[in-house]
Amino acid sequence: MTVPSAPAAPAAALGDVRFAPYWLDATPAPDPCPPLAGPTTADLAVVGAGYTGLWTALLAKEADPSLDVLVVEARTAGWAASGRNGGFCAASLTHGVLNGAERWPDEIGTLERLGRENLDAIEDTLRRHAVDCAWERTGELSVATERWQLDGLARHAATSARHGGPARLLDADETRALVDSPTYVGGLLDRSSVAMVDPARLAWGLRRACLDLGVRVVEGTPVESVARRGSALALGTPHGTVTAPRVVLATNAFRPLLRRLRSYVVPVYDYALVTEPLSPAQLASVGWAGREGVSDAGNQFHYYRLTPDDRVLWGGYDAVYHFGNRVDDSLDRNPATFARLAEHFVATFPQLDGVRFTHAWGGVIDTCSRFCVFVGSAYAGRLAYAAGFTGLGVGASRFAARAVLGRLGVPDGTSDAAQLAQLGMLRRKPLPFPPEPLRWAGIELTRRAMARADRRDGRRGPWLRALDRLGMGFDS
């Protein structure tokens, strides 16, 4: 969104903010499982207890209850991206149909279908395991805040329609009848392909479902090394070694245990705010009766939604990379970005001027050059990994879990596992990022070029056009 005449930063609106992820603060976390207590073995060891690791463990255990599955988590399940995201659980496996159609034109129909089936299967699993994560299948409204963005929405609608997608174009009045902002000039509504969830309760619910089925979970146990041990692999931790014939790495944007992964994933920080609960009058001034997730259609975009208690979660826009793939808790706090987000919120909803923010936080996203998950294997097929969700992993993580289990030859309880193995999307990796300092310079250049394109009616300059030719450009 271009905000040419945004009001001054509403510092007062951020005056009492807590620097903590709203979701992790709103509900008490479950008691952590004890750390590993000495050496152990497992049939399948999963490193990381975010969605990817938890789905992997759950699917494997559901398919074969006799399998001894161990999840090893450095801190506590769901503390990272999985517990602090926007809670948009999307059907798309490719970060949008346009990105997928560009990269896998022959496969996109299958990928779209698999994505819809994946979202249905998530909903079904949550029902079967009585996971209460405030699941609302309200869909998503993409809004254009500049006329040039309407083209992108129209292309999205046409491509989606070719593959059975239900997205519908709206004019400005129709868009504003759903959610009322004076900045909207049009929209695209997809009622069924996205659900809103409480992300932390989703992670904790998956963890509980795993434990109920007999999956072992150890928390406070960082894996420091992977090595061969006979025909198995040994995971070194400060509390003992885990030996397993099959291992899954589900460590997302954190320092990968496999050196080769370091060139494929860069950690990028994304930030969000949450307001105090809106009063009925404030909510009525915006409309939003359908409670859709909303995102705007610029290169630098915002995503926003209502929480179960009618706060507004407002995030996105800035995406910040730190030299050398730096990841550190201190980077979760970014006052300049928080102020910018607060400004953009009031520019979008002037009728909510004066509403205060209660929470502000950041989190790290595993960005890869094709903007959607890739999988791979190592150690002669004994270890598999999935990474690269690039900010759209809430739904796709279950699909990724199926893909890594397929790599290891572990059943996932579905009938079409063999079909997944044939997908070009899952067989090929993204282009690697260059080493530093080129990496930092390239990312910084891209960020500035995207901001410039947003200011110039979407016109992509030479740098973005070069990236497009390399297949590294992103057109959301």
Ligand X SMILES: Cc1cc2nc3c(=O)[nH]c(=O)nc-3n(C[C@H](O)[C@H](O)[C@H](O)COP(=O)(O)OP(=O)(O)OC[C@H]3O[C@@H](n4cnc5c(N)ncnc54)[C@H](O)[C@@H]3O)c2cc1C
Tell me which residues touch ligand X (CB under 6 A): 47-53, 72-75, 79-82, 84-88, 90, 222-223, 250-252, 254, 257, 270, 272, 315, 363-365, 389, 391-395, 397
Q: Which is nearer to ligand X, 5 or 330 (CB)?
A: 330
Cβ atoms 37, 337 nearer than 8 A:
no
Q: How far apart are CA 414 and CA 397, in angstroms?
A: 16
Query: How long a stretch of residues is the chain?
Result: 476
Find residue 340's DSSP bridge partners.
Answer: none
Pull the structure tokens for residue 470.
């390399």
Q: Compute CA distances 387 → 83, 128, 369, whole Å.
A: 17, 27, 11
Q: Which is nearer to ligand X, 282 or 315 (CB)?
A: 315
What is the nearest approach in angstroms of ligand X to the Cβ of residue 398? 10
Q: Is 317 left (phi over 0), alpha (psi -120 to 50) or beta?
A: left
Q: Compute CA distances 188 → 88, 150, 306, whole Å.
A: 16, 9, 18
Q: Which is nearer to ligand X, 104 or 361 (CB)?
A: 361
What is the nearest approach in angstroms of ligand X to the Cβ of residue 167? 17
Q: Which is nearer to ligand X, 185 or 386 (CB)?
A: 386
Q: Which is nearer to ligand X, 226 or 420 (CB)?
A: 226
Q: What angle do CA 123, 390, 55 make, to 5 degrees?
A: 35
What is the nearest approach in angstroms of ligand X to the Cβ of residue 57? 11
Q: Is 70 left (phi over 0), alpha (psi -120 to 50) or beta?
A: beta
What is the nearest approach in angstroms of ligand X to the Cβ of residue 78? 7
Q: Using DSSP, state whether 411 is helix, strand or coil.
A: coil
Q: How far apart are CA 327 and CA 329, in angstroms?
A: 7
What is the nearest approach in angstroms of ligand X to the Cβ of residue 95? 9
Q: How far apart are CA 198 and CA 26, in angstroms?
A: 10
What is the nearest approach in angstroms of ligand X to the Cβ of residue 53? 6
What is the nearest approach in angstroms of ligand X to the Cβ of residue 90? 6
Q: Which is nearer to ligand X, 92 or 282 (CB)?
A: 92
What is the nearest approach in angstroms of ligand X to the Cβ of residue 413? 19
Which of 48, 464, 79, 85 has its CA nearest to residue 269?
Answer: 85
What spatial distance separates the first Cα and last Cα of the chain, rounded to whole Å? Answer: 13
Q: Which is nearer to ligand X, 304 or 349 (CB)?
A: 304
* Residues in Cβ contact with 66 at an 8 Å cutoff, skipping those fewer than 6 apart: none
Q: What is the dihedral of CA 131, 133, 135, 139, to 10 degrees?
A: -130
What is the nearest approach in angstroms of ligand X to the Cβ of residue 198? 12
Q: Which is nearer to ligand X, 74 or 153 (CB)?
A: 74
DSSP-H helix ranges across 325-395: 335-348
Q: How far apart are CA 107 and CA 105, in angstroms?
A: 6
Q: Which is nearer to ligand X, 96 or 473 (CB)?
A: 96
Q: Which is nearer to ligand X, 251 or 282 (CB)?
A: 251
Place of tokens 């500035």: 448
Find residue 396's DSSP bridge partners.
Answer: none
Pairing of strands 293-296, 140-144: parallel
Place of tokens 């959610």: 179
What is the nearest approach in angstroms of ligand X to the Cβ of residue 197? 9
